[in-house]
Amino acid sequence: MELTWPAVAGLVLGMALFARVEQARFRRLVFALLFTLGVVLLLRG
């Protein structure tokens, strides 16, 4: 149950951002976030 809250928070935040930001900018933000998290995962091992 511990992992559920961050997932729910991310979903709600994503839905709120999608409603406020134009689609192309939202996609760039999501891509930048995923890219950054991927690099962090690679660096941590």
What does the pLDDT look like over 8-21, one tens digit per residue? 998 999 999 888 99
Q: Token match 């933000």: residue? A: 29
Q: Name the pTM for this structure.
A: 0.70
How far is residue 27 from each of residues 2, 4, 41, measured CA to CA in Å? 28, 24, 21
Q: Say what the pLDDT of residue 1 is.
A: 64
Share of the chain above pLDDT 70, in %: 98
Total structural domains in the chain?
1
**The pLDDT of residue 3 is above 90:** no
Q: Which pLDDT belongs to residue 33? A: 93
Give the CA-trace dihedral at 29, 33, 34, 35, to 10 degrees: 100
Q: Domain span at residue 40?
A: 4-44
For residue 14, give both structure tokens. Answer: 């994503």
